[in-house]
A and B are shown apart, each in its own frame.
Chain A
């Protein structure tokens, strides 16, 4: 799965989780740019991403994605690596 595919699939998940079909995310998008991406939104997002990509995040990975300065690009790389690890 290449980065483009991951970002494309993430766009669908983000649209569903944040109930906004017009939402377009790219590698540079951060949590601060999306109003609903708060602590609660983060949990919903993580669970939806796990389901969509058929992966499981660890505690450290969930914490890492909410770290200041993290963006969708680094999140997508993590997903890509996990998909590779699980042969998805």
Chain B
């Protein structure tokens, strides 16, 4: 069952109805867990029971590592051991053959099943483990842990929510009634998300296919092709997010926002503050910040900035998929962010503060910056969308050769 199948909407409608009916607080939390388990059994691959048990075993191992960290002094050691095991598990399950091939013998460890939503559970687990290790989270109850990791509205593709935020909203969701106005807003959000996913996104999808033209295209046809995949991706993913945010709101639960008009970003830093926000924040908080702090204590700040930014986006690229093109996508994002940061530092060095402010607020500068940034973003999405073979064909089309 996919997110856009009729069965999904029957499930979501039934879930909203049941959660609305479960007025007793403690019952609500258990009803939510039951719905989460039903949802997962509907979406995970066959044989469902086996896949479900594997998922449960994996989560249990993480939960036990959390409980151990809460009880022992050597939290850092437990954290490192868990992280190593979990990352080995991740690259094996997600079939990163270009990584596992070198030490696991190619397909020898290729596992025939995969767990949907695995990447997003991994993020939630890392977040929880870091905060337990650092003493910011003092207890994790089994029911909360299961609901946090398996919440049906964010299980498949996020947004990634912080544990303390989830618990706070869970408390409100259990104890506070949803005002009528909020319900209407939630309904609007769900409908708008569905329109984006089912109507507008497919319009652009049809133009995002390399075979739509086989000879040198007109400028207009190429422009449509160039913008279509990023727009399709945005409309499809943000439409999904609108729907899950709306479903959460309908029962009084706030799911974090994941997009903020990314196509008006004026540079690559701005873009990643607007695009897949919960992912950007995760990489910023759990990779970029700790690496930058550690590197800045030892190395030249500029060197640290360049190195850490590239490593962060390289890893973000790997996370996006198990093919080399996703790594290249990450590196290109990193390059864009590094250029933005270095340009910003250069401007700071060259211009006095009032001139810098005037430069940033200048309408023509802003418009030019948006155009340059968006062209770069869309060019990098070509790498994201197409295999190297298809990219060669794109290049051939740009060059005016038939494909």
Binding site for B on A (CB under 8 A): 20, 35, 38-40, 42-43, 46-47, 57-64, 66-67
Contacts and interface: CB of A to CB of B under 8 A. Distances in A.
Which secondary structure characterizes the binding site on chain A? Answer: helix
A60 B289 contact: no
B315 interface: no
Rank and list the top 7 A-B pairs by shortest CB-CB distance, nearest first: A63-B285, A60-B134, A58-B134, A60-B136, A59-B290, A60-B131, A43-B292
B305 A40 contact: yes
Interface of B: 130-131, 133-136, 162, 269, 284-286, 288-290, 292-293, 296-297, 305, 341, 344, 353, 357
A39 B284 contact: yes
13 contacts: A20-B353, A39-B289, A43-B292, A46-B293, A47-B297, A58-B133, A58-B134, A58-B135, A59-B285, A59-B290, A63-B130, A64-B136, A66-B284
Contact of A61 (B134, B162, B341): B134
A39 B288 contact: yes
Which of B292, B305, B357 is the most central at the interface, judged by chain A CB atoms within 10 Å of its CB?
B292
Given A59-B134, A61-B136, A43 B293 contact: yes
A59 B130 contact: yes
B342 to A, nearest CB: 11
Contacts of B289: 39, 42-43, 46, 59, 62-63, 66
Contact of B130 (A46, A57, A60, A66): A60
A42 B296 CA distance: 13
A55 B140 CA distance: 28
Given A20-B353, A58-B134, 19 more contacts: A35-B357, A39-B269, A43-B289, A43-B293, A47-B293, A57-B293, A58-B135, A58-B136, A59-B285, A59-B290, A60-B130, A60-B133, A60-B135, A61-B134, A62-B285, A62-B290, A63-B289, A66-B285, A67-B162
A62 B293 CA distance: 10
A36 to B, nearest CB: 9
Contacts of B269: 38-39
Contacts of A58: 133-136
A62 to B, nearest CB: 5
A63 B353 CA distance: 28
A63 to B, nearest CB: 4
Contacts of A42: 289
Nearest to A63: B285
Contacts of B131: 60
